[in-house]
Amino acid sequence: MPLCSEPAPICRRPRACARRWRVPGSGVALALAAALLAAGLPARADALEEVPYVQTPQPVVDAILELAGTGPGDRLVDLGSGDGRIVITAARRFGTPGLGVEIDPSLVTLAQERAAEAGVAKLARFVAQDLFDPALDAELTAASVLTLYLLPDVNLALRPRLLATLAPGSRIVSHDWDMGDWRPERSITVPAPHKPVGLRQESTLHLWVVPARVAGAWTLRIAGPEARSLPIVMRQCFQDLGVALADPGAGRAAEAPATGGHGNVRPAPQEHARADAGRGALRGRAISFTLILDGHRLRFEGMERDGAMKGSVVVDGRARGWQAQRSAPGESRESCPAQPGSGAATAAPARTAD
């Protein structure tokens, strides 16, 4: 028997419905939502009261899991799991433990029955729960892959919580709808056979990687014969960074000697350091950024963890170590207007389908 072949039930709680479009039987609300989005206005999920649940075609389910790079070492949470096909497929194909969150108890029962039939009941769990229930935070904290098929305004309502709760490096895949000005790492379009909505038989999938929070003031130390210490400020817009010297007049390395390669404090040069603003990016905890220091463009690569960073940088043709310690936290922007001098890249709007 093909997975999830039964007729689709009706969703009566639009805020928590999933694996479904907010589409009344006439299709008028989908047209209204599309018109609002085209005009740059948010589509209101709470205005679409009673809507059918539309199943995600199995080829799209497979593509979602592949785009997320799902594997046996992951923990999956599917928000609005419907008949459970994403969680069940992940358990069957990859041995991935997962949780499906669904507001409709009848769908939860159906998903549990299908998990048992597939022999993955110990890996695939399902609960009847509202997506916005704070009790769900513990499951989100443990998740490394999160999937969802909601609407733009629901995605935006969830976005701050996902950024605050999911661990850096967690992957999010959304079916068809984006996250506003949080630019996806990757977007792909895949065939969606028998998709009952939209003009094309295809779906767009968006992937995000939750970035570490690095906004704030840092002390950057570059190792080497002329080790130096620089105060820098990082401004963050999701995964995009602007990096600048905190105080150009404070770049005198003698004021903050750095530890040399053998653990000895080396005397620092007396000249002022000159650094121009640079840009950078995060992918989970992995960080890369550039600074033009004393006329030389330096590219830093490293990792962030618990308020500290370290990595390598090439100086005068030689790789050197660097480390940074946060001295004061800053605010990670969840809205990213372009600001002169910020150094942060402007987030391009993601394309949506249908």
**Residue 152 identity (one-letter amino acid):** P
226: tokens are: 């002329």
pLDDT at 129 over 90: yes
Q: Higher pLDDT residue, 77 or 295?
A: 77
Domain 216-329 in CATH 3.30.70.600:
no
pLDDT at 167 over 50: yes
How many other β-carbons are positioned within 10 Å of the β-carbon of residue 214?
Answer: 25
pLDDT at 155 over 60: yes
pLDDT at 201 over 60: yes
pLDDT score at 288:
97
Least confident range from 133-137, 206-210, 225-229, 241-245: namely: 225-229
Quickly list DSSP for 246-257: S-GGG--GGGS-
pLDDT over 70 percentage in the chain: 69
pLDDT score at 268:
35
Q: Higher pLDDT residue, 341 or 171?
A: 171
What's the Cα-to-Cα distance from 285 to each of 40, 70, 243, rounded to whole Å? 33, 18, 16
CA 60 distance to own-chain centroid: 20
pLDDT at 349 over 80: no
Query: 3-class DSSP state for residue 255?
Result: helix
109: tokens are: 């029962």
Q: Higher pLDDT residue, 271 or 136?
A: 136
**Residue 305 identity (one-letter amino acid):** R
Regarding pTM above 0.85, the answer is: no
Least confident range from 13-27, 54-68, 190-204, 314-328: namely: 13-27
CA 327 distance to own-chain centroid: 26
Residues recorded for the chain: 354
pLDDT score at 225:
78
pLDDT score at 296:
83
- What are the residue ranges spanned by the domains of the chain? 10-209, 216-329
User: Residue 218: CB partners within 8 Å, gap ≥ 6?
Assistant: 231, 232, 233, 234, 309, 324, 325, 326, 327
Fold observed for domain 10-209: Rossmann fold (3.40.50)
pLDDT score at 18:
38
User: Residue 141: CB partners within 8 Å, gap ≥ 6?
Assistant: 165, 166, 167
- Residue written as tokens 């000249």? 271
Q: Higher pLDDT residue, 228 or 87?
A: 87
For residue 64, give the H/E element and its range: helix 58-67
pLDDT at 234 over 80: yes
pLDDT score at 276:
61
For residue 156, give the H/E element and its range: helix 152-165
- CA dist., res. 284 & res. 213, Å (int): 9
How many other β-carbons are positioned within 10 Å of the β-carbon of residue 158?
Answer: 21
User: In whole numbers, what is the pLDDT of the chain averaged over residues?
Assistant: 77
pLDDT at 238 over 90: yes
- CA dist., res. 179 & res. 171, Å (int): 13
pLDDT in tens, 287-299: 999 998 888 889 9
pLDDT over 90 percentage in the chain: 56
pLDDT at 2 over 60: no
pLDDT at 62 over 70: yes
Mean local confidence (pLDDT), 2-26 = 35
Maximum CA pair distance of the chain?
76
pLDDT in tens, 24-43: 222 333 333 443 344 444 44
pLDDT at 279 over 80: yes
pLDDT score at 54:
67
